[in-house]
Amino acid sequence: MTLFFLKLTSQMVKNCYQYIMKDNKNLNYIWNYSPIEELVAMFYECIELNKEYKGAYNVTKEKLNQYPKGKQFDFDDEGNIFAKFDQFVKKLFKLIELYSIKKQIRVLDH
């Protein structure tokens, strides 16, 4: 079951990356993206997906705990399941910060 969640998490990160990059291979695509607000909105959508994914996992885990004789979400290291997505989200927050600075610099240039 752990392997399933690791693959699911990996696929979600991959899909978020493809959603942001729109199948462009060149990273300059995101540096030159305009309008910045649209790109940042995509970042926040991916961040929200991570939050909802963890929430759905926890709700399901709690429901399963109500039936102790049934199968349970009992993983040794739940943090490992979400680690890849959490790292991706950290990078998105850094990019949001960079784009905020970029936007402030543009205002100063005018």
Rounded-to-integer distance, Cα 62 and Cα 22, Å: 36
Q: Can you tell me the mean pLDDT for 77-91?
A: 91
Rounded-to-integer distance, Cα 98 and Cα 7, Å: 30
Residue 102 pLDDT > 70: yes
Rounded-to-integer distance, Cα 95 and Cα 40, Å: 8
- Per-domain residue ranges for the chain? 2-109
Rounded-to-integer distance, Cα 10 and Cα 12, Å: 5
Contact between 25 and 104 under an 8 Å Cβ cutoff? The reply is no
The per-residue pLDDT for 73 is 66
The amino acid sitting at 24 is: N
| Cα R_g (the chain), whole angstroms | 18
Instruction: Quickly state the pLDDT bin for 80 (edges 50, 70, 90).
Output: confident
Instruction: Quickly state the pLDDT bin for 19 (edges 50, 70, 90).
Output: very high
Strands (E), the chain: none
